[in-house]
Amino acid sequence: MAASRPSEDQEWVTSRIESWVETYKKSMLTPVVLNVVDAHGPAGVADIARHIAASTGWQLTERGLYRTLKRLEDSGLLASIGVDAPRTGAKRKELSLTPLGAAFLDGARAHLVELSTAEATPELPET
């Protein structure tokens, strides 16, 4: 039996959701990274990537994550120090939240909206 082909409406919805998710990921990456570093910092890049994947399900490219971390460090939201890696002694970067980063994260948290189907939708006034 052949698999049924999605309807045009289903294809449109799927496409819109995929587009929205990519936009959402880009806009939410900064507070997600800051939240991970706040909760698990100081943390190395591999630990940050692992925590992001575990908490969001997002798979980030190493290059994309490094660019984001550099931007956040250049913006003063994250600070880094070089630490010796176990067994090799090679320098590894550990990142921590700065006071500016903590203030930014607090502001972002204050404006997050959680969607829930369990809550009643408020009635809109009649016009």
Query: What is the per-residue pLDDT across 8-51, written as a single tens digit (0 to 9) for each?
Result: 989 999 899 888 888 888 888 999 999 999 999 899 999 999 99
Closest CA to 37 of 52, 17, 56: 52
Q: What is the pTM of this model?
A: 0.75
Structural domain count, the chain: 1
Is the pLDDT at 115 greater than 80, yes or no?
A: no
Of 85 and 107, more confident:
107
Domain extent, residue 81, equals: 32-108
Query: What is the per-residue pLDDT across 42-96, written as a single tens digit (0 to 9) for each?
Result: 999 999 999 999 999 888 888 989 999 999 999 999 999 988 877 777 788 899 9
Domain of 93: which CATH number? Answer: 1.10.10.10
7, part of any domain: no
21, part of any domain: no
- Are residues 36 and 55 in contact, defined by beta-carbon separation less than 8 angstroms? yes
100, part of any domain: yes
